[in-house]
Amino acid sequence: MQNFRFQTVPLIINETGALARLGEFIQQEFPACRRLFIVSDAGLVSSGILQAGLDNLDQLGLQYQLYAGVVPDPPEAVVLLAAQQAREFGSDLVIGMGGGSAMDVAKLIAVLCGNDQALSSMYGINQIRGKRLPLVQIPTTAGTGSEVTNISIVTTGETTKMGVVAPQLFADLAILDASLTTGLPVATTAATGIDAMVHAIEAYTTRHKKNPVSDMLARQALKLLFNHIDRACSHGRDLAARQAMLLGAMMAGQAFANAPCAAVHALAYPIGGRFHVPHGLSNSLVLPTVLRFNLPAASEQYAELAEILAPDATGSAEARANAMINALADLALRTGIPTRLRQVGIRETDLEQLASDAMQQTRLLGNNPREVSWQDAYEIYAAVL
Ligand SMILES: [Zn+2]
């Protein structure tokens, strides 16, 4: 048996309607905490879907401050501003409520309020020295899995993104409540759901740290996501389908927090960074072509996943792997989201820059089952154009 480490969030509550009991959960799990700092974005706050949670905090006399200033691809300045407000409020617990951006910002606020280390010295792997405030994460999309990962992505320059990866970023509690996701548009449901499937696939085929626990989670995540994504898209108010998507995205998050992502994400990040394409869609765009590129190195593993994604496929491992990739390509087409780079405003003259940017993602590329050169990256982008 191989040696490995597996780490995740100690408490996960999977319960439709749980947000309305937020205050109860806080009192049970963090009885000393009285001043909660809630990190979210303006769209969610004005939508009113957070209200059930806020009402419960009011009923139980828990003080809170709501920060609604998170934006997609959050810049460093937003993190620092929010952390300053959290400090001034005297926060003793941080709650992230939203998609990946809100949860990523919440992680860093909990750390910045918990010790005096500068954010600029936290980028990279295991660079956080001190402790953090108690941290609760409540996702409102079924995609990033950020509620159970130890990663926070911050935009540090015009287009550059930096990652903080540290065990302190694992939350204390994650709450999965499908009632928060029923209003998501079809395109967001599809793209975030496919992103979660990418997390599972890349964890399953990652070159380092793949282990029996991450494999089990990746397979179960794929099963939940693939079997419910069509229903969640066509019947957005179906709570059972939505809860299954949240659970699948969370399990995929647990898998890739321990068996990290690879070339699909490496090629997706420049698309998001340069063209402000949402993270899920960026991944979905390059997914089938990167998997086809990986075939010479990963066809056995993809054939194993074909049992879930293309159960009727027969023949050689290569044939079953191809059926699995085709099933993913069909899924994107079926949901109607863009499948070509041109559809999101990318031109042929942009591809060299994208390939160069992708080469900077060495942390991710090193995990890919097949080595990716600049020329390979360029050709993958060109094939998706
Ligand atoms: Zn992702």
Distance 314 CA to ligand 1 centre (A): 30
Q: Are 346 and 354 in contact (CB under 8 A)?
A: yes
Q: How far apart are CA 113 and CA 88, in angstroms?
A: 10
> What pLDDT was estimated at residue 1?
73
Burial class (CB within 10 angstroms; exposed 0-12, middle 13-18, buried 19+) of 362: exposed
> What pLDDT was estimated at residue 363?
86
Q: How far apart are CA 58 and CA 61, in angstroms?
A: 5
DSSP label at 365?
Answer: H
> What pLDDT was estimated at residue 157?
79
Distance 280 CA to ligand 1 centre (A): 6
> What pLDDT was estimated at residue 32?
96
Q: Are 177 and 138 in contact (CB under 8 A)?
A: yes
Distance 198 CA to ligand 1 centre (A): 7
Distance 196 CA to ligand 1 centre (A): 6
Nearest in space to 203 (alpha carbons), one of 160, 195, 129: 195
Listed residues: CB within 5 A of ion ligand 1: 195
Q: Are 239 and 257 in contact (CB under 8 A)?
A: no
Q: How far apart are CA 373 and CA 364, in angstroms?
A: 13
pLDDT in tens, 141-173: 999 999 999 999 998 877 778 889 999 999 999
Distance 69 CA to ligand 1 centre (A): 22
> What pLDDT was estimated at residue 320?
98
Distance 35 CA to ligand 1 centre (A): 32
Q: Which stretches in the chain have pLDDT values below 50?
A: none
Separation in Å, CA 260 to CA 6, 77, 241, 252, 254: 12, 27, 27, 11, 10
Distance 25 CA to ligand 1 centre (A): 28
> What pLDDT was estimated at residue 273?
85
Distance 333 CA to ligand 1 centre (A): 19
